[in-house]
């Protein structure tokens, strides 16, 4: 990443502005687009680190699109990076929702708009499946059986047993912290 800081900040702002303006379906859709932009296109972040940043964004309270912008912005540009990436991420939805709120009754009653929104649901579902596949396949490729078991158990607990996702995240986060502490202690003792 040999580019000047001002160039990085400018690209960061316009990238998050673009992604936010053309991302429909919620924050999980933006995860794949962030990866495509910052890992595959710009090569500013490697794939493993991007997964870590996404995990932080997903487990933090608030909108995942803004959380993603915060962690990526901080990684790439510190506090100025956070400011420009968050600004880029919030401008499009703020403008679009402001306009829609004024014409909501007309907007929702239009059968063409309603059909378009129904069609977008299918596309959004496919993009979310893509995110799950990308994140899951990376864990499987590492062949870390503990993470694979955690992933499967988390799915079973959430989907079949209807355990609240917050409890699953808290338990898995605590397990990850303990595992990391024990691993670091083991490295120090060697």
Across the range 181-185, mean pLDDT stands at: 89
Query: What confidence score (pLDDT) does residue 178 get?
Result: 93
pTM of the full structure: 0.64
DSSP string, 48-103: HHHHHHHHHHHHSSS-HHHHHHHHHHHHHHHHHHHHHHHHHHHHHHHHHHHHHHHS
**Does the pLDDT of residue 87 top 80, yes or no?**
yes
Query: What confidence score (pLDDT) does residue 183 get?
Result: 87
pLDDT tier for residue 171 given thresholds of 50, 70 and 90: very high
pLDDT tier for residue 2 given thresholds of 50, 70 and 90: low
Query: What confidence score (pLDDT) does residue 150 get?
Result: 94
């Amino acid at each position: 990443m040999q580019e000047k800081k001002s160039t990085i900040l400018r690209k960061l702002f316009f990238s998050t502005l673009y992604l936010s303006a053309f991302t429909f379906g919620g924050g999980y859709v933006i995860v794949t687009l962030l990866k495509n932009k910052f890992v595959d296109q710009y090569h500013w972040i490697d794939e493993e680190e991007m997964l870590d940043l996404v995990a932080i964004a997903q487990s933090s309270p608030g909108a995942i699109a803004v959380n993603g912008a915060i962690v990526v912005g901080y990684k790439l540009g510190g506090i100025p990076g956070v400011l420009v990436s968050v600004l880029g991420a919030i401008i499009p939805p703020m403008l679009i929702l402001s306009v829609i709120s004024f014409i909501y009754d007309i907007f929702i009653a239009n059968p063409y708009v309603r059909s378009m929104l129904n069609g977008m649901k299918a596309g959004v579902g496919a993009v979310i499946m893509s995110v799950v596949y990308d994140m899951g396949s990376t864990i499987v490729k590492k062949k870390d059986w503990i993470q694979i078991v955690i992933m499967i158990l988390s799915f079973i607990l959430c989907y079949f047993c209807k355990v609240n996702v917050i409890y699953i995240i808290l338990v898995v986060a605590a397990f990850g912290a303990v595992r990391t502490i024990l691993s670091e202690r083991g490295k120090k003792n060697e």
